[in-house]
Amino acid sequence: MLNQNNTFIQGFWRLDSWGFSSQELLKFIEQLIELKITTFDHADIYGGYICEEIFGNTLKLKPSIREQMQITTKCGIKLPSSKFPDYTHIYDTSYEHIIESVNRSLQNLATDYIDTLLIHRPDMLMNPEEIARAFNQLKNDGKVREFGVSNFLPHQLDLLQSYLEFPLVTNQIEASVLSHEHFDNGNINHLHKLRIRPQIWSPLAGGRVLNDTSDKSARVRKVLQEISDKHNADIEQIAIDWLLTHPLNFQIIIGSGKIERIRQTLMSQQIKLTRDDWFKIWTAYTGHDIP
């Protein structure tokens, strides 16, 4: 099941580009577990449908390590790839595709259950009855323990939830000092109302926190630097702690394959931003004072 005690989740969407051997990846996983990062985030499509398989081949070297981790994966997007050259880029949340995707993920990940399955993106043709039928079958078969969504807006989450007899456990959404969409559209407040702890992807805005040249990014980076100097931290740590300061207790998905950088990220938990700090960053993004 999803480890709700973890603040950080390790994402593996770039795993195919890290150049790890199976033994090196096993060592990396063991180091993560030592750091108490035990939830590992995947999706069927990552790496052109190969990242799950890379991870699963490593688990085969030490099957017992599976008991120390929680695996999240996602389905619902089709992408053309070398494995599926006939696919076109569409969303597919049909009963058949969900079942097929999960069975393939189980095989690729070398496991007989997935801790948490997410619908990857809202599907304009989503039939909540079909998703509920697939979820119920997967749960009853013991193949998936918990379910959630990714990139859903409040009305989309509520629609799916209304067809389920068990609660959705998370919604993966983008948020950062350079991405306020889900603060502004009511999604974070809605999740707070439902006591659903979101998982935050792209918490450093895909690197734009450090290297984007727009006026908005430059304003935010200037304030981040001032605050980081005050706290004797780096800009990335301040940007992460800005998210951690929120009372909903976000879970942060880390995308790095470098263990030292991950250790540095974890140190952001030791920083305690003041409200003044937090709102300085907020207003640097908006470019104007709060009302």
Catalytic residue numbers read 46
**Other Cβ atoms closer than 10 A to 63:** 10
Task: State the Cα–Cα distance between residues 42 and 218, nearest whole angstrom.
Answer: 32
Task: Summarize the chain as % helix, strand, coil (round to 5).
Answer: 50, 15, 35
d(CA 201, CA 253): 5
Q: Where are the alpha helices (H) located in the chain, listed in sequence order?
A: 22-34, 46-49, 51-59, 95-108, 128-140, 154-161, 181-184, 187-193, 208-211, 215-231, 235-244, 259-266, 275-286
State both tokens at 151.
């990139």
**DSSP three-state, residue 209:** helix
Q: Which amino acid is at 128?
A: P
Are 85 and 116 a contacting pair, CB within 8 Å?
A: no
Radius of gyration for the alpha carbons in the chain, expressed in angstroms and rounded: 19
